[in-house]
Amino acid sequence: MHIKKQITLLGATGSIGTSTLDVIRKNAHSMRLFAATAFTQVDKLAAIANEFFPEYLVVADERSADKLSATLAHHDKYKPTILTGPEGLSKTASHNGADTVMSAIVGGAGLVPTMDAIKAGKCVLLANKESLVMSGEIFMRAVEEYGATLIPVDSEHNAIFQSLPAEYDRRRPDEFGVRHILLTASGGPFRTLPMEQISSVTPAQACAHPNWDMGRKISVDSASMMNKGLEFIEAFWLFGVAPENIKVVIHPQSIIHSMVQYVDGSVVAQMGNPDMKTPIAHALAYPSRITSGVNDLNLFDMQDLTFTRPCYERYPNLYLATQACKLGQAATTALNAANEEAVDAFLNEQIQFLDIYNVNKRVMEQCSSTELSTIDQVLAHDKNCRELAQGAIAQVKND
Ligand code: NAD
Ligand code: MG
């Protein structure tokens, strides 16, 4: 008998969540949604439940749970278990009813449930880069210790994963002839904007990405290139390549999603239309291939492919992230925490776009030397850095 893959989707109501549901819908003969989590978007989760009938649903609190339960009360047979808050997320992420967990919550809130899935030995499809940025060393050790499988969903890392041999071992990149990881970046919506206009950009302008349709936080990160900075750190942990051998390449067409340069002169790239359903489908089916609903790439329609070096003056957050990667886990956690608070303040129009960098720099300078060896220590450090970031935000508002 053909057994369907059972999938838990953390962050089902977000951009990655929606694309994941599109792929599951297309491949309903081979996979099924076992559990879905949301935060406050109860109506959206109810619509997902009405279509996919997952056994477990998670929302932020009791009030949302009551609302969800009332919305689903008309079903005679479908009676899902509704859980709440971080405990509900943890229970769902580690539940033995699913073998595969898509980690698509945004930000540091994804760390604990992703770790729970790892500790339960799941096949974890990782979109939530922030969890790896915050706890890289502990995270990768846990993947080995608990026998979990980790497949990157972030398009660049999925491309690198596809460009490396299946037997690749991150502890020995040299043995596989890897010279460089070439991490591509679109350059975001402000790539060609005159420098003097960058200080006055609005949240709506920052969220209008030229090639990708994404959640608001990652869209702002793409505009500041903090996203590439976080991805630099993510690549370091996933593939074990030294920071000096990870090169960021601006490729505005977003057709090549990243590359691996080998010692023999080969450069292996993965290409495709910029649509997250491709890496999601790849991760869901690996090592098989399934249809994703993404149009075939038409080489004859393609514009020229161009490549340039990033300019740190335009993208100072990228520089900060490369420094944090070299400093270690306390610095990367500090940078991630400060950035989440600063992006939130920017989206709420409390600070200006360039202040995101000022807040990040201040917090990173103060918080990079703490020793972190457990997740509890990471979470305490993260909390401390967020408080410092709030102080820095108040300060830049008054400057
Ligand atoms: P999004 O904002 O669209 O969705 C976020 C999801 O997380 C929602 O389902 C929301 O309910 C949930 N969530 C938010 N805060 C929560 C909390 N405190 N507790 C529980 N759930 C919470 O974000 P997105 O763009 O889908 O991104 C999700 C993750 O994937 C991010 O880490 C992002 O960096 C990564 N990623 C996204 C893309 C993309 O194209 N959108 C590409 C690569 C990587
Ligand atoms: Mg990416």
- Across the chain, mean pLDDT equals 96
Domains and CATH numbers, the chain: 5-152 (3.40.50.720), 158-273+296-315 (no CATH), 328-399 (1.10.1740.10)
Question: What's residue 299's pLDDT?
Answer: 94
Q: Which atom of ligand 1 is nearest to the CA of 105?
A: 7
**Average pLDDT over every residue of 5-12:** 98
Extended strands (E) in the chain: 5-10, 31-37, 56-59, 81-84, 100-103, 123-126, 149-152, 178-185, 246-250, 256-262, 267-271
Please give the backbone phi and psi of residue 354, each rounded to the nearest 5 degrees, phi first.
-70, -15
Distance 342 CA to ligand 1 centre (A): 17
Tell me the pLDDT band of 314, cut-offs 50, 70 and 90.
Answer: very high
Is the pLDDT confidence value at 301 over 80? yes
Tell me the pLDDT band of 95, cut-offs 50, 70 and 90.
Answer: very high
pTM: 0.97
Percent of the chain with pLDDT over 70: 99
Distance 294 CA to ligand 2 centre (A): 17
Is the pLDDT confidence value at 303 over 90? no
Extended strands (E) in 15-166: 31-37, 56-59, 81-84, 100-103, 123-126, 149-152
Residue nearest atom 9 in ligand 1 by C-alpha distance = 11
Tell me the pLDDT band of 341, cut-offs 50, 70 and 90.
Answer: very high
274 alpha carbon, closest ligand:
1
